[in-house]
Amino acid sequence: MSNLLQTPIEYLKGVGPNRGELLRKELGIHKYEDLIQLYPNRYIDRTRYYKINELQNNPAEVQLIGKIINIKTVEQKRGKRLVATFTDETGQMELVWFQGHKWIRESLKLNVPIVIFGRCTSFNGFFNMAHPEIELLNEHEQSLRSAMQPVYPSTETLTNRGISNRVVNKLMQQLFQETQDLFSETLPHYLIDELKLISKKAALFNIHFPKSPDALAKAQFRLKFEELFFIQLQLITKNLIRKQKIKGHPFTIVGDYFNTFFQNHLPFKLTNAQKRVLKEIRNDMGNPAQMNRLLQGDVGSGKTIVAFMSMLLALDNGFQSCLMAPTEILANQHFLGLSELAKSLDINIKILTGSTKTSERKIIHEGLENGSLHIIIGTHALLEDKVKFKNLGLAIIDEQHRFGVEQRSKLWKKNEIPPHVLVMTATPIPRTLAMSLYGDLDISVIDELPPGRKPIQTVHRFDSDRLKVWKFIRDEIAKGRQIYIVYPLIQESEKMDFKDLMDGYESISRDFPLPQYAISILHGKMKPADKDAEMKRFAEGKTNIMVATTVIEVGVNIPNASVMIIESAERFGLSQLHQLRGRVGRGAEQSYCILMTSHKLSSDSKTRMETMCRTNDGFEIAEVDLKLRGPGDLMGTQQSGVLNLRIADIVRDKDILLLARHHAVKLLKEDAPMQKPEHAALRLAFIELTKKKNIWNYIS
């Protein structure tokens, strides 16, 4: 693209310093190029003309052809309004103005064909349109620049300061007049031919001034494909470079630790999915390049044993491993789980968290530095500078989306040669999102549950069914089972939520009195030691019911707990509901999840409840969640994975994303450095883009 596109926006005719400042601040538009990439949100179809008898009471803007036959002023409580009667061959309606009467009255012509445009509302069966745009029919027929009128993203400040949609539209026309022939092609010609794409120049023109719905569709397809294609090129290139440049330790030995455990101490037969994933990990770690793999597996699919066996491979090759978890509860759980698996092998495992005593820390630091400590489990505490390893060969990160990119790289820097990295998550990420957020990682999926696990039965009950639900709980407790009752806890309404939790706890204590029943409580305001004590009582079966906020969401493992009751379930997102449900169903007994809600449910909430009751498949649930919430919310805030895309949408444009990735992979296989003559323009655009936008800027 030419230098003219780098011109500061205030030099565009009609902008100037004040408007320029506003456009910069409100929409991030600094240069001509940025304005061209301000794509419309939607379009108003000005090719369609309605008749009065076709009007409906909805917020869409419509246009009609007819004439004004009468004008009058009507007194109202405050001031007056101007009312004109508009007719066509099918009926009559009113046009209304609340201000500017004198000027409008002078400009209105009676009994002349005109085109009106605006929003209609109906009142007592009569339609009216407030402050319509009016044009004489003969002028309208000559002036139609674009049948589909673009509506641009805007902010309240812009509207208040007079930069309306019409103004942006005029600026865009001005810009195209100045820059008409400067849009150079970025994609290779063979790709344009194969996919029948329109040129870059035609696409940019038709996205802003579409001649027809068909021209618009072609322009959108071309620009969406290009955007996703460049992101995939960046992600895949990053992965290739890492495999070539970032050396890893090749773990070539499969030795005593791994074999003894596999042959003599496996607590259960591995599923085919676990075997497949282990093989992928073994292949990766056997190479001299650093492994970077994302391991996705639904709640309870057996990721821990895969992680443990990967650690045994590191040990067989003389290396240490670490496992980092986002919370102390989760770190403790991993520590207990892995110590249990390792008890018959001679392995030194320790845990390091914020509450580890100073004397114990000293021993851990020494053990890590002299190599006598084989495996360390911990929280963010592992990232402290004091923690040094003799030879860290494998870093496993659990629930990755809770750690930012910087935190991960801190772990890598603890070694001359970075360790192999395995990222685990129980939050199933839809394939399209995984390709965009983690396209630079290799992905493994454990997609089957261990045998003997009964699917959890999920039901939706209203608050009015509470007595029946309590009876069901009593029956389950009589069978020796334990119950979770979870209350929402949302930052904004923390005080209210805390009150709900305490009220709930009191009423449950009344309905399930001592000494027959014992109840634990767990919430964020408790001291870590108290939390652990309550958790321990519940784990040992000393209490029957655990009343908690969402602190128990991830990783708590109590096989005897068979019922999960989620209060105000409508206030949880789908992935959270699915995570909570995964706390039960860990033993051989039939488990249940009961979603309690009020009768007032939005349509999204209904969809969430229906989805939960219909399926236990985390990936299907994640797909529905992605459709409901969009990619921004799905990943939580730390790495919020909001893809800053200008035109594509990874939910709606899933097929274009798959197509873009396919062609990016193919191109890089044939010509990774993009040196062939037909890739010259592509290489140039790619370098420009990488200068301005590292891939992590897309993933804000």
Question: Domain 256-446, what fold?
Answer: Rossmann fold (3.40.50)
Query: Alpha-carbon distance 132 to 494, whole Å?
Result: 47
**Across 118-122, 139-143, 167-171, 444-448, least confident range:** 139-143
Which SS3 state, helix, strand or coil, does residue 510 take? helix
Query: Alpha-carbon distance 304 to 396, whole Å?
Result: 10
Cβ neighbours around 252 below 10 Å, total: 11
pLDDT on residue 401: 59
**To the nearest whole percent, how much of the chain has pLDDT over 70?**
93
DSSP state of 345: S
- Which CATH code of 1.10.3720.10, 3.30.540.10, 3.40.50.300, 3.30.420.10 fits the domain covering 457-615? 3.40.50.300
CATH architecture of 47-143: Beta Barrel (2.40)
Question: 592 pLDDT exceeds 70?
Answer: yes
Question: 389 pLDDT exceeds 80?
Answer: yes
At residue 220 the predicted structure's pLDDT band, cuts being 50, 70 and 90, is: very high
Q: pLDDT tens, 179-207?
A: 877 788 999 999 999 999 999 999 999 99
Q: pLDDT tens, 551-566?
A: 664 446 788 999 999 9
Pair 182, 4: CB distance under 8 Å: yes
Closest CA to 79 of 98, 105, 107: 98
Question: 427 pLDDT exceeds 90?
Answer: no
pLDDT on residue 700: 30
Q: Three-class SS string for 438-485?
A: CCCCEEEEECCCCCCCCCCEEEEEEHHHHHHHHHHHHHHHHCCCEEEE
Q: pLDDT tens, 100-119?
A: 788 888 889 999 999 998 88
Question: 694 pLDDT exceeds 80?
Answer: no
Equal fold, 47-143 vs 256-446: no
At residue 634 the predicted structure's pLDDT band, cuts being 50, 70 and 90, is: very low
Query: Alpha-carbon distance 470 to 542, whole Å?
Result: 20
Q: pLDDT tens, 642-693?
A: 456 889 887 778 889 989 999 999 999 999 999 999 999 999 999 988 887 6
Question: 4 pLDDT exceeds 50?
Answer: yes
Domain boundaries, the chain: 47-143, 256-446, 457-615
